[in-house]
């Protein structure tokens, strides 16, 4: 699981705390207005002007501008619903049989799968892969173009 994936609820699971590797942001070449699901203090390599941490409860905050979202994978539904409504940003999410995934699949402007062997940062120190396919989903033409800069294959 990527970047910060465990954030806002009473069901918070410590194993949800994985961070997106820096190379993703280097290749995207974007600066986000806000990282909506960040750990307290943010992540130094995520180019976001501001962030919402667990204490801020990003789900209840108003999202503005171009957002980066790597929500708790254990509770993605509400995050994805808000991301779809916002329609401006990049989200890192797992493939899923869940209804939220089908809704996102039918609406995103662009997406690309991350390599199967992507290593995510766990608790700011160790790296580890995850067992499920993970992709970047984008709304907005600038964000879709950024997915192409990743050069990971066909952007759908």
Q: Where are the beta strands (DSSP E) in the chain?
A: 18-19, 32-35, 48-51, 67-69, 89-94, 110-113, 120-122, 126-128, 134-139
Q: Compute the average pLDDT of residues 95-115.
A: 93
The whole-angstrom separation of Cα 136 and Cα 147 is: 8
pLDDT tens sequence across 42-51:
888 999 999 9
Pair type for strands 67-69 and 89-94: parallel
15 band by pLDDT with thresholds 50, 70 and 90: low
User: Is the pLDDT at 18 greater than 50, yes or no?
Assistant: yes
Q: What percent of the chain has pLDDT above 90?
A: 61
Q: Compute the average pLDDT of residues 21-40.
A: 94
User: Is the pLDDT at 40 greater than 70, yes or no?
Assistant: yes
**Taking all residues of the chain, what is their mean pLDDT, rounded to a whole number?**
85
pLDDT tens sequence across 77-97:
999 999 999 999 999 998 888
9 band by pLDDT with thresholds 50, 70 and 90: very low
| Tokens 């171009």 belong to residue | 66
Q: Compute the average pLDDT of residues 101-126.
A: 85
């Amino acid at each position: 699981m990527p970047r910060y994936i465990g954030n806002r609820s009473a069901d918070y699971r410590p194993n949800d705390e994985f961070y997106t590797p820096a190379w993703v942001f280097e290749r995207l070449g974007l600066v986000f207005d806000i990282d909506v699901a960040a750990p307290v203090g943010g992540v130094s390599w995520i180019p976001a002007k501001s962030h919402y941490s667990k204490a801020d409860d990003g789900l209840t905050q108003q999202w503005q501008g171009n957002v980066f979202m790597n929500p708790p994978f254990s509770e993605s539904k509400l995050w994805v619903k808000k991301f779809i409504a916002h329609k401006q940003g990049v989200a890192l999410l797992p493939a899923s049989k869940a209804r939220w995934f089908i809704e996102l699949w039918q609406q995103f402007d662009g997406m690309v799968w991350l390599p199967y062997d992507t290593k995510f940062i766990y608790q700011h120190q160790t790296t580890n892969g995850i067992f499920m396919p993970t992709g970047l989903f984008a709304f907005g033409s600038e964000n879709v173009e950024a997915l192409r800069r990743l050069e990971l294959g066909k952007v759908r």
